A and B are shown apart, each in its own frame.
Chain A
Amino acid sequence: QSALTQPASVSGSPGQSISISCTGTSSDSSDVGDFKSVSWYQQHPGKAPRLIIYDVNTRPPGVSNRFSASKSGNTASLTISGLQTEDEADYFCGSYTSNFTWIFGGGTKLTVL
């Protein structure tokens, strides 16, 4: 089961927008490419992950509308607009697969400069 590929780190200044990509292997249909079920999780240091996006681009109640997401081909993307210091965290993408398993990206560390 291959992982999804994310950049190790991204950074931005307060007020700016950043995007984090999540790419599945194009030869493997059982990941982000063919399915709607891509989700994103935010994790602050020492804390449990928190769901911030599901079904590619849907925010759960209570999640800021500064978080948005999309998918094109075998790449999903999370965009955070109007960066705030509290957005500094690790971000993981995840996907349910046709093998009835889950895979995650390796995670992206967001630094707000």
Chain B
Amino acid sequence: EVQLVESGGGLVQPGGSLRLSCAASGFSFSSYWMSWVRQAPGKGLEWVAYISQDGSEKYYVDSVKGRFTISRDNAKKSLYLQMNSLSAEDTAVYYCVRVDLQKWLLRGWFNPWGQGTLVTVSS
């Protein structure tokens, strides 16, 4: 069974940092693009970042560029999101998601999703 388990969320002050982790199991982790998608309380989904199988390609939504860094460790089957300079607007549940992607054919979708980890930015 494919499983994605996030950890590392919590309460952080504005301007602070947090590192999220995602442990993957049940599939060939190194064969898939991976992504973080977030959802602010009561709001819709927002794609945050995604990373290629070997970590050489990374893409970010404009609002987190320069502040967030996505990375992965294929040996540990783990995905990470380093979040710096956090603000209240970053408060959300962060989901780790496996990506089915054929980049140059512009075909892609998110499946499956982890259970999410809540990040709250507040003083």
Q: Which residues of A contact B (CB under 8 A)?
A: 1, 3, 35-37, 39, 41, 48-51, 54-55, 60, 92, 94, 96-98, 100-107
Contact = CB atoms under 8 A, between A and B. Distances in A.
Contacts, number: 70
A28 B113 CA distance: 28
Interface of B: 35, 37, 44-47, 50, 59, 61-62, 95, 100-101, 103, 106-116
A3 B61 CA distance: 12
Contact of A96 (B95, B101, B113): B101
Nearest to B114: A48
B106 A41 contact: no
B107 A49 contact: no
B59 to A, nearest CB: 6
A106 B111 CA distance: 19
Given A48-B116, A101-B59, A94 B111 contact: no
